[in-house]
Structure 1
């Protein structure tokens, strides 16, 4: 389940981009401003909005550390801001003064890429604020950019549909027509890139109008896209199926971003709003995360993550107390009735009772997802216990009905490897079925 937990409606014009750091959310708009919000309670920071640009702000992004925010605009500039106090640190003018449509930090924060309407792409030195390298795409405006996880290359996308791969010295490694009607956005998953090879893998469908934005979750398990059809679609990248379709926006969805911990998703629109969505653990499980990972995920929550969880549960009044006592995910799961009263000094019996109930629900949810079902008994397609397992020609076992449906509706590819299946013959896995039946006899009495 994905639920809407907050809507930001402070911009006076279309929202063009949103970006997360570990503690902040930044949004920018045609109204020439950038706004900053705290993730603990979604309150706008005192030094927000940030004002410098004289025309529409097209893109904003945080440095990996979260200390610096970059923004770029039709006015031909890319500005670096202090995320702490909103002070402008540097103003970098695009060669030729062309409108800047996209900006992205390299993973090590040493460089910032900016792409412009005249097809220029610039690598700026973040420390000196000086131009480091400059290049050009062949045709069209440069509207999309993304760095690989290790920063050894980055890709740009143009309004003519060209996807271009560059190395960190701004040498063009590859360029090809990726989309007939132009590229609007591109993103790398978190999986490391070793060497270089660019080849088509698959197409995800679901929207009925042009797609304007896309983003991978930080663990690479999900991909979100926003469209002219006003919808947001969340895909499972492992099995390439749709997990959720969100239809809250009333105009084109122009931007989407996952928070670093994938608990939250932000979507922005021409309806001038930014919606904040929260994922539950069941969705994370559906997206291919293992049960142990889910438990570890909760235990690894930061204090900010716990604050977000409290707000989503209607316990905003406890955020200050939990922060003061440095309650992180691990501490949260270990809280008891006594510790809430004696250690955290929560005087209100009603608040204590509600908090304890919500914590028990969270513990139960984590425990239920951490079931004892052996992973080899779970169908990779349905993520459910198999009743009639069959072996496909890729060597993996699947639920018979699910695999037959997969083959009838998909290309003849493996759900696990995405490679072409040598054969569509399915062989009953009687040994596995016997093992599942034995497990059921001992665990469902």
Structure 2
């Protein structure tokens, strides 16, 4: 059972990331700040919020000792903070000054890894505050990174969909196309998996992406074999892009957060869904397990961070593992539909749907009338809930094929009232108006906007309307 015990509502804009140390929780936001809380009572520490970044803060992480906190921002810098008094220890400028999307400390805290929108990957020497090594991914922005527990290699994920394995000398060892529409997050479990037959130990890795999937991998790193990356399985349950994933400290669970506003906790060994949490009102952007206590933090574009207490003795089963890398909803089996029902907190309908042989194709064709007359669901509220979830599935099918130029760069949603800003890019009017009310830079280039004028993009609006008409035929 997962119980919501606290909601933190101190940020004034989207929460982008949250991270635990043994005694603190840090959160960062589009509002340019990092906030730090004590785990004893979730009171904000006296020096919080940490201010200094001039644009959105995308990521934050604690050093292994918890004495240093790192943050990175659209302003092209990574910052180091002393968690005892909040002093800023260093500002590290990314080469090329590209927006920094993600940062991680190496396990021994000797290095800070920083990845940026231009694909650059930098290792900073934490002691000297000097650049140690740098590299670059091929195509796309750097969106995710994770160190192995030993620190002898790390993995990066890019918006082009690639997972890349590097050694500690910044040499590219392996590259894999993992998620068709881009990687959004990755994590490596601190607990290796033993292969008693061959005498090897594998590292478990999870990755997630814009394709709605969470994939589990096994990484073998050995001097005489090099690096091997083996696909294990895909976890299903989310109906929209998955933005975050993380292992529990013992490696027994994986948590994920999605554009579908849900948080799902899986059992690593079986892939079964243990909990589905749906209290956030907008996209879930981040999730993290505490290292020394049964706590989970989830952050969202609704500007809140939820703190959950986990009762590890009472897991609730449900869900399944899909061993194919990608299965279209209309090709779902009856078991896939059952797993989806469990993930959507509709487990009570599993027996009814199986009795009526509801597979993916039948699921998408269900209507208000068929739910009432054929499946005999008498409760209007339950019928409405099922229909709402089915409609989300239909929208997911449509969103996979939406041309990228029809999506607002800020919200990543289909534009209804596109406007052209002076940077030459088109945005959803409301999203861009909210953006420029707080800042005067381009969301795409981070350069100053010479004017705040927004011009209706009628040509694009007509193109979107025509495309929508073709989808409804």
TM-score range, shorter chain: 0.5 to 0.7
Instruction: Pick one of 274, 299, 306 that aligns with 2:305.
Output: 274
* Aligned counterpart, 1:441: none
Is residue 2:56 matched to residue 1:88?
A: no
Separation of aligned partners in 2, 1:408 and 1:279: 27
* Aligned counterpart, 2:252: 221
Query: For the structure 1 residues 87 and 250, does the alpha-carbon distance in structure 2 shift closer, same or farther, using more than 3 Å as the test?
Result: same
Map Cα deviations across residues 395-430 of structure 1 (whole Å, 9 max, x no partner): xxxxxxxxxx999999xxxxxxxxxxxxxxxxxxxx
Map Cα deviations across residues 121-169 of structure 1 (whole Å, 9 max, x no partner): 0000010110000000001000100001111100000011010000000
Is residue 2:137 matched to residue 1:171?
A: no
* Aligned counterpart, 1:433: none
Query: For the structure 1 residues 270 and 409, does the alpha-carbon distance in structure 2 shift closer, same or farther, using more than 3 Å as the test?
Result: closer
Cα deviation for residue 281 of structure 1 reads 3.3
Cα deviation for residue 262 of structure 1 reads 4.7
Unaligned runs of 5+ in 1: 288-380, 382-404, 411-445
- Contact conserved, 2:275 with 2:315, CA < 8 A, in 1? no
Q: Secondary structure at the match of 1:96?
A: helix
* Aligned counterpart, 2:290: 259
* Aligned counterpart, 1:132: 132
* Alignment of structure 1 residues 244-255 onto 2, 5 Å: 244-255=275-286
Q: CA RMSD in A?
A: 2.0
Is residue 2:237 matched to residue 1:206?
A: yes
Whose helix fraction is larger, Structure 1's or Structure 2's?
A: 1
- Contact conserved, 1:2 with 1:283, CA < 8 A, in 2? no
- Normalization by structure 2: what TM-score? 0.60
* Aligned counterpart, 1:107: 107
Query: For the structure 1 residues 409 and 85, does the alpha-carbon distance in structure 2 shift closer, same or farther, using more than 3 Å as the test?
Result: same
Map Cα deviations across residues 259-314 of structure 1 (whole Å, 9 max, x no partner): 00250000000000000001113147989xxxxxxxxxxxxxxxxxxxxxxxxxxx
Map Cα deviations across residues 321-379 of structure 1 (whole Å, 9 max, x no partner): xxxxxxxxxxxxxxxxxxxxxxxxxxxxxxxxxxxxxxxxxxxxxxxxxxxxxxxxxxx
- Contact conserved, 2:125 with 2:132, CA < 8 A, in 1? yes
- Larger mean CA deviation between 119-128 and 256-265 belongs to 256-265
* Aligned counterpart, 1:187: 187
- Contact conserved, 1:217 with 1:262, CA < 8 A, in 2? no
Separation of aligned partners in 2, 1:84 and 1:284: 37
- Contact conserved, 1:218 with 1:262, CA < 8 A, in 2? no
Separation of aligned partners in 2, 1:26 and 1:176: 32
- Contact conserved, 1:25 with 1:36, CA < 8 A, in 2? yes
Query: For the structure 1 residues 271 and 285, does the alpha-carbon distance in structure 2 shift closer, same or farther, using more than 3 Å as the test?
Result: closer
Query: For the structure 1 residues 182 and 407, does the alpha-carbon distance in structure 2 shift closer, same or farther, using more than 3 Å as the test?
Result: closer
Is residue 2:76 matched to residue 1:76?
A: yes
* Alignment of structure 1 residues 37-436 onto 2, 5 Å: 37-192=37-192, 193=203, 194-195=221-222, 196-283=227-314
Separation of aligned partners in 1, 2:312 and 2:240: 30
Unaligned runs of 5+ in 2: 193-202, 204-220, 321-333, 340-473
- Contact conserved, 2:15 with 2:304, CA < 8 A, in 1? yes
Query: For the structure 1 residues 3 and 115, does the alpha-carbon distance in structure 2 shift closer, same or farther, using more than 3 Å as the test?
Result: same
- Contact conserved, 1:18 with 1:26, CA < 8 A, in 2? yes
Q: Secondary structure at the match of 1:45?
A: coil
Larger radius of gyration: 1
Separation of aligned partners in 1, 2:179 and 2:2: 30
Cα deviation for residue 39 of structure 1 reads 0.4
Paired positions, count: 294
Separation of aligned partners in 2, 1:237 and 1:87: 39
Separation of aligned partners in 1, 2:275 and 2:337: 23
Q: Secondary structure at the match of 2:233?
A: coil
